[in-house]
């Protein structure tokens, strides 16, 4: 076995589907769907690798084990079949007999399938393959092979119009250079009859971390939740959403255009990390799970739409923190870390990730002007490990001044939001790309300019200068350290059955060729020598010309590239950016060799 393959094999022995270690004792509900009669609720237990079938009246859970971490659920119209997507490079949809609680058969998908959606006639299942950047179209009867429809980047949520004409897909992160004047994620619109993307709806500048998407019961509007980063501002304060605001974009299904974007925050209190979104059955209210603040945001749909149509300055609505005042209620939940949402009538069922529970609340003000949330436990209380505590704190905006953001606002899933931020670590007006926190504690320094010597220092600086919080308990920072240390690399979608493709094998030989020069800086199991170099990447705003050599592990997931996110793809980095020319003979490689080299690097 040659050297590149020995290292890859060692790496793959550590890889999983991206879960944190030591969390299997927790259920971690992430997605939820309720039977139409409201008697049964189905929950995806992400870290326990179980589907929980809850009899609501008896508050009695029944557990069904599935082969990998469940990510999403869809229930057939008659309630007989439950479709469960599970994480992993091979992915898959497991079809459960909903009454018996047994897997009847499985369907193939792509890498890390999520958000299964049934067509209105129940004949077709659509599944987002997050890390293949495409959507599977699966015919549930007959012998047709699944079709894959490419979308842009990390499709993470989807919904279909009541007439079955359009499937709307939320792409989690922006695509392209962070140097662009406009950096924002998009919603892809798939025409189900042609099986092609018919529109790409761009959200406001700075939109990232899309999480939830639903369609109003009348089919007229799409609602998608996301963070709206004010990345063009230096991070000198938090007040009034100076760094991050939290938003929901409204899309018109007839014109296939964004109608506008409303902020879920108040002027002095953020609604950090909006996640799941759904509507009451009568369409009167839109409900959003506010994951970072442990709330349910309930919006009067008719009043919101009326205000949008009457807005005197439509372009400023996405900056108006008071726009929804009087049209939205913020209701505290009993549990921690709400994510997925299910709805029966006007009763919301919420997947409370960190408290291993289902939140229950009737959002109709006529039923109760001040509704009180309750929680149904999904299992016995489990002692929280240090790493689990760190994961909870990492996602908790209660740590932050006025709840505007949590650590995961800029580092979703512990990775990067793909935006450049002007942090104050190294002075003002020199923005840098958010870094992937995977392996941060093993690859010092923590910042691209080396200003923070190690990740532990960066974590404590982040609490003080990004969350603007004073934490007297050092144990909180230690717990966050342990959470970040527990992050595991996700196997690359460029691998074929867990192995390098022929192109990547050729690229591996080039990578280890001393004349090409990659190995001079990117060496060892983590593909970094932990040193600073001048690679001719200094930009007009930079105060230094030497930068840290980052690990290449999981770089397939971390575009755009370089410290300032200048290059949207790895190939652009090597060709337009001439990265590697200063330390090797990269310029002597032909186009095919460049492609092979890119294939190898993106396989790590």
Is residue 17 over pLDDT 60?
Answer: no
Is residue 6 over pLDDT 70?
Answer: no
The verdict on 409 and 547 lying in the same domain is no
Q: Which of 355, 382, 409 is the endpoint of a domain? A: 382
Q: What is the mean pLDDT of residues 570-589?
A: 92
What does the pLDDT look like over 385-394, one tens digit per residue?
999 999 999 9
pLDDT tier for residue 13 given thresholds of 50, 70 and 90: very low
Residue 109 and residue 189: Cα distance in Å, rounded?
A: 20
Residue 153 and residue 170: Cα distance in Å, rounded?
A: 9
Q: Is residue 364 a part of any domain in this protein?
A: no
Report how many helices (DSSP H) and strands (DSSP E) the chain contains, helices first.
10, 33
Is residue 163 over pLDDT 90?
Answer: yes
What does the pLDDT look like over 456-499, one tens digit per residue?
999 999 999 999 998 768 999 999 999 999 999 999 999 999 99
Q: Is residue 359 a part of any domain in this protein?
A: no
The verdict on 468 and 517 lying in the same domain is no
Q: Is residue 75 a part of any domain in this protein?
A: yes
Q: Is residue 58 a part of any domain in this protein?
A: no
Q: Is residue 361 a part of any domain in this protein?
A: no
Q: What is the dihedral of CA 264, 270, 276, 279, to 10 degrees?
A: -30
Nearest to 563 by CA among 594, 586, 541: 541
Percentage of the chain with pLDDT > 90?
87
Percentage of the chain with pLDDT > 70?
96
DSSP state of 422: B
What does the pLDDT look like over 494-538, one tens digit per residue?
999 999 999 999 999 999 999 999 999 999 999 999 999 999 999
The verdict on 453 and 516 lying in the same domain is no
Give residue 40's pLDDT: 95
The verdict on 206 and 320 lying in the same domain is yes
Contact at 8 Å (CB) between 118 and 125? yes
Give residue 67's pLDDT: 93
Residue 100, token pair as written in the block: 């018996």
What does the pLDDT look like over 32-84, one tens digit per residue?
999 999 999 999 999 999 999 999 998 889 999 999 999 999 999 999 999 99
Residue 385 and residue 482: Cα distance in Å, rounded?
A: 10
What does the pLDDT look like over 314-363, one tens digit per residue?
999 999 999 999 999 999 999 999 999 999 999 999 999 999 999 999 99
The verdict on 192 and 260 lying in the same domain is yes
The verdict on 480 and 567 lying in the same domain is no
Number of domains comprising the chain: 3
Mean pLDDT, the chain, integer: 93
The verdict on 301 and 222 lying in the same domain is yes
Q: Which of 364, 382, 400 is the endpoint of a domain? A: 382
The verdict on 326 and 438 lying in the same domain is no
Q: CATH number for the domain including 339?
A: 2.130.10.10
506 is in which domain, residue-wise? 502-601
Q: Is residue 23 a part of any domain in this protein?
A: no
Sheet holding 338-344, edge to edge: 338-344, 347-352, 357-362, 374-377
Q: What is the mean pLDDT of residues 222-247?
A: 96
What does the pLDDT look like over 267-281, one tens digit per residue?
999 999 999 999 999
Place of tokens 């240390």: 485
The verdict on 453 and 513 lying in the same domain is no
Residue 207 and residue 304: Cα distance in Å, rounded?
A: 20
The verdict on 106 and 153 lying in the same domain is yes
Is residue 10 over pLDDT 60?
Answer: no
Give residue 380's pLDDT: 87
The DSSP element (H or E) to which 548 belongs, if any, is: strand 547-548
The verdict on 472 and 514 lying in the same domain is no
Give residue 24's pLDDT: 61
Is residue 20 over pLDDT 60?
Answer: no
Q: Is residue 250 a part of any domain in this protein?
A: yes
Q: Which of 382, 405, 428 is the endpoint of a domain? A: 382
The verdict on 451 and 593 lying in the same domain is no
Give residue 21's pLDDT: 38
pLDDT tier for residue 23 given thresholds of 50, 70 and 90: low
Q: Is residue 241 a part of any domain in this protein?
A: yes
């Amino acid at each position: 076995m040659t050297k590149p393959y020995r290292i890859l094999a060692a790496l793959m022995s550590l890889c999983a589907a991206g879960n944190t270690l030591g969390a299997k004792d927790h259920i971690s509900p992430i997605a939820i769907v309720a039977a139409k009669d409201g008697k049964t609720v189905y929950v995806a237990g992400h870290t326990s690798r179980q589907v929980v079938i809850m009899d609501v009246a008896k508050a009695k859970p029944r557990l069904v084990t599935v082969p990998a971490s469940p990510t999403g659920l869809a229930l057939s119209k008659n309630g007989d079949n439950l479709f469960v997507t599970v994480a992993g490079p091979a992915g898959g949809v497991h079809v459960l007999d909903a009454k018996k609680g047994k897997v009847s058969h499985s369907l193939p998908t792509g890498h890390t399938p999520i958000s299964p959606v049934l067509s209105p006639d129940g004949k077709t299942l659509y599944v987002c393959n997050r890390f293949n950047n495409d959507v599977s179209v699966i015919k549930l009867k007959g012998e047709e092979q699944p079709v894959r429809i490419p979308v842009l980047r990390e499709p993470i949520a989807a919904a279909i119009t009541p007439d079955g004409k359009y499937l709307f897909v939320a792409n989690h992160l922006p695509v392209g250079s962070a140097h662009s004047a406009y950096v924002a994620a998009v919603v892809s619109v798939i025409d189900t009859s042609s099986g092609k993307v018919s529109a790409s709806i761009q959200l406001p500048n700075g939109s990232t971390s899309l999480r939830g998407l639903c369609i109003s019961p009348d089919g007229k509007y799409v609602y998608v939740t996301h963070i709206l980063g004010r990345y063009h501002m230096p991070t000198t304060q938090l007040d009034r959403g100076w760094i991050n605001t939290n938003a929901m974009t409204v899309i018109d299904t007839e014109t296939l255009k964004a109608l506008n974007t409303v902020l879920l925050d108040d002027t002095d209190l953020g609604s950090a990390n909006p996640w799941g979104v759904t509507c009451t059955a009568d369409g009167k209210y839109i409900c959003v799970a506010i994951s970072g603040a442990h709330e349910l945001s309930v919006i009067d749909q008719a009043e919101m739409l009326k205000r949008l149509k009457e807005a005197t300055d439509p372009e400023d609505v996405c900056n108006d923190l008071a726009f929804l005042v009087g049209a939205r209620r913020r209701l505290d939940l009993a549990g921690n870390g709400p994510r997925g949402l299910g709805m029966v009538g006007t009763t919301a069922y919420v997947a409370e990730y960190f408290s291993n529970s289902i939140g229950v609340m009737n959002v109709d003000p006529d039923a109760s002007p001040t509704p009180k949330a309750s929680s149904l436990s999904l299992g016995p209380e489990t002692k929280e490990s240090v790493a689990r505590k760190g994961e909870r704190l990492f996602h908790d905006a209660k740590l932050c001044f006025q709840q505007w953001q949590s650590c995961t606002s800029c580092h979703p899933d512990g990775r990067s939001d793909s935006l450049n931020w002007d942090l104050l670590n190294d002075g003002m007006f020199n923005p840098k790309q958010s870094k992937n926190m995977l392996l941060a504690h093993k690859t010092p320094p923590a910042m691209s300019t080396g200003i923070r010597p190690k990740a532990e220092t960066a974590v404590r600086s982040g609490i003080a200068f990004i969350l603007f919080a004073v934490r007297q308990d050092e144990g909180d920072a230690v717990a966050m350290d342990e959470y970040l240390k527990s992050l595991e690399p996700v196997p690359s979608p460029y691998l074929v059955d867990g192995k390098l493709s022929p192109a990547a094998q050729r690229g591996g030989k080039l990578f280890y060729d001393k004349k090409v020069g990659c190995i001079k800086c990117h060496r060892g199991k983590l593909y970094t020598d932990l040193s600073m170099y001048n690679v001719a990447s200094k930009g007009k705003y930079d105060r230094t010309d030497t930068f840290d050599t980052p690990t290449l592990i999981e770089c397939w997931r971390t575009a755009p590239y370089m410290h300032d996110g200048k290059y949207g793809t790895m190939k652009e980095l090597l060709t337009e950016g001439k990265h590697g020319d200063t330390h090797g003979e990269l310029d002597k490689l032909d186009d095919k060799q460049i492609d092979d080299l890119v294939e190898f690097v993106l396989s790590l």
